């Protein structure tokens, strides 16, 4: 279950990503994805601009478009193994970048494949090799 800290980190992720990615990508929180092996709801998803249905049309409870990046924030009630299993499912569905935010470590692991990752810590500037996004890690936790 998401906590107050989780919600604040999620807000900062969306804010920083939107500011950096501008019109090239659409950044959404808590959107239901109907992907190859069922429904998943990433904490934050980054979609290539123009790939989602137009807002002027009908509403959707889930989208079948695979995001370029899926981001999960470790909550106090979750274990890392659960989110690593999700990473495998996201990559199998076509996600190209997966971020695992670990609030207690003030760190973010950016995966470019299921077991290929780089950690970014408080004070680092995270650079996503897929979207080109750059965020200041310390700002997620302040």
Residue 73, both tokens: 């924030």
- Residue environment code for 45-81, b if the CB has 16+ CB neighbours within 10 A, otherwise e: bbbeeeebeeeeeeeeeebebbbbbbbbbbbeeeeee
Q: Which pLDDT does position 56 carry in this prediction?
A: 80
Q: What is the pTM of this model?
A: 0.94
Domains of the chain, each with CATH number or no CATH: 4-141 (3.90.1570.10)
Q: Return per-residue pLDDT of the chain as tens, 142 residues.
A: 678 999 999 999 999 999 999 899 999 999 999 987 789 999 999 999 999 988 887 888 899 999 999 999 999 888 888 888 899 999 999 999 999 999 999 999 999 998 899 999 999 999 999 999 999 999 999 8
Residue 40: count other Cβ atoms within 10 Å of its Cβ.
21
């Amino acid at each position: 279950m998401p906590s107050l800290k989780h919600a604040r980190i999620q807000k900062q992720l969306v804010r920083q990503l939107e500011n950096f990615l501008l019109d090239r990508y659409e950044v959404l929180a808590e959107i239901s994805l109907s992907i190859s092996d069922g429904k998943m709801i990433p904490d934050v998803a980054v979609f290539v601009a123009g790939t989602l249905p137009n807002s002027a049309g009908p509403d959707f409870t889930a989208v079948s478009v695979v995001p370029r990046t899926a981001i999960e924030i470790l909550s106090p009630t979750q274990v890392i193994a659960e989110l690593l299993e999700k990473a495998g499912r996201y990559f199998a569905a076509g996600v190209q970048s997966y971020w695992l935010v670990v609030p207690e470590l003030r760190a973010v692991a950016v995966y470019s494949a299921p077991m290929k990752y780089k950690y970014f810590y408080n004070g680092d500037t995270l650079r996503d090799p897929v979207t080109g996004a750059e965020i200041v890690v310390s700002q997620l936790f302040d």
